[in-house]
């Protein structure tokens, strides 16, 4: 069962790449409308963790997962659960913007709706409009929706990818270092967008930028060597961490 008022409940999650034990006994609750930042040194399991949350990890040859992840009370690793359906409910935005090549701005956003069976043109148009507004991109692209998605700037492409994820109205959005390849202005726009998104969805973001975590996240989790060392309110993690390993990282003595 999902813990009370948690949209995600992770219970004893382990993950492997072949024989390498990448995640070790992760248990955590993520509440509805949280923005949770995952911090920690490179290779500590942050990206693997979020890929397990929408069943992308298992797509890697030799990778495996054990444990449970409940989304709104339903175990996404339960018998008969379709990973494709799970990924519509738990969207993902990657580090590098990845608009679909050859597709227009409009079709990049609409593709998930159409693959999901939406056929009514007016309904698709409304969802595309809402998603582009939700990604703070509509005003910039409304007069060029037929242009290739790849013609946009890097920051716009990342917001287009966010719109693509939002179009199917997922309750949870995962972001894997979504601003690491962007300039400071584009980064600021994405951070503002995340603050707006938390009114309607839950966001889990991997970031190497601790200042970013402090700016946008209400909760933060520190990962080290495949373990979730500590999780709590962001201010507490940065100002009064319980675990000395967390303190060493956030104060710059390690990592």
pLDDT at 11: 97
Separation of alpha carbons 124 and 131, rounded Å: 10
Phi, psi of 128 (to 5 degrees): -65, -45
Separation of alpha carbons 61 and 172, rounded Å: 26
Separation of alpha carbons 92 and 172, rounded Å: 9
Separation of alpha carbons 181 and 26, rounded Å: 29
pLDDT at 2: 43
SS3 124: helix
Separation of alpha carbons 73 and 88, rounded Å: 16
pLDDT at 4: 57
pLDDT at 255: 63
SS3 87: helix
Enter the pTM of the model.
Answer: 0.94
List, in order of start, the domains of the chain with CATH numbers. Answer: 6-250 (3.40.50.300)
Separation of alpha carbons 191 and 172, rounded Å: 17
Which pLDDT tens digits describe the chain residue by residue (255 residues)? 445 579 999 999 999 999 999 999 999 999 999 999 999 999 999 999 999 999 999 999 999 999 999 999 999 999 999 999 999 999 999 999 999 999 999 999 999 898 888 888 999 999 999 999 999 999 999 999 999 999 999 999 999 999 999 999 999 999 999 999 899 999 999 999 999 999 999 999 999 999 999 999 999 999 999 999 999 999 999 999 999 999 999 998 876
79-88 burial by CB neighbour count: b if 16+ within 10 A, else e?
eeeeeeebbb
pLDDT at 116: 85
Cα angle 133-205-118, degrees, rounded to a multiple of 5: 45
């Amino acid at each position: 069962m999902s813990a009370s008022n948690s949209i995600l409940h992770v219970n004893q999650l382990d993950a492997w790449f072949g024989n390498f034990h990448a995640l070790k006994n992760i248990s955590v609750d993520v509440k509805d409308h949280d923005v949770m930042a995952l911090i920690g040194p490179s290779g500590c399991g942050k990206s693997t963790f979020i890929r397990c949350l929408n069943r992308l990890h298992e797509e890697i040859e030799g990778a495996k997962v054990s444990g449970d992840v409940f989304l709104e009370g339903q175990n996404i690793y339960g018998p008969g659960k379709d990973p494709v359906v799970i990924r519509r409910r738990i969207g993902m935005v990657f580090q590098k913007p990845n608009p679909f090549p050859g597709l227009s701005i409009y079709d990049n956003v609409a593709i998930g709706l159409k693959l999901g069976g939406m056929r009514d043109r007016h309904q698709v148009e409304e969802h595309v409009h809402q998603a582009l507004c939700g990604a703070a991109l509509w005003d910039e692209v409304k007069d060029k929706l037929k242009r290739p998605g790849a013609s946009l700037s890097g920051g716009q492409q990342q917001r287009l990818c966010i719109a693509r994820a939002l179009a199917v109205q997922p309750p949870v959005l995962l972001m894997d270092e979504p601003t690491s390849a962007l300039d400071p202005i584009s980064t600021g726009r994405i951070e503002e967008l995340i603050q707006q998104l938390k009114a309607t969805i839950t966001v889990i973001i991997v970031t190497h930028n601790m200042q970013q975590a402090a700016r946008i996240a209400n909760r933060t989790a520190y990962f080290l060597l495949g373990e979730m060392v500590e999780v709590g309110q962001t201010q507490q993690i940065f100002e009064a961490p319980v675990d000395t390993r967390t303190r060493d990282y956030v104060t710059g003595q390690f990592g």
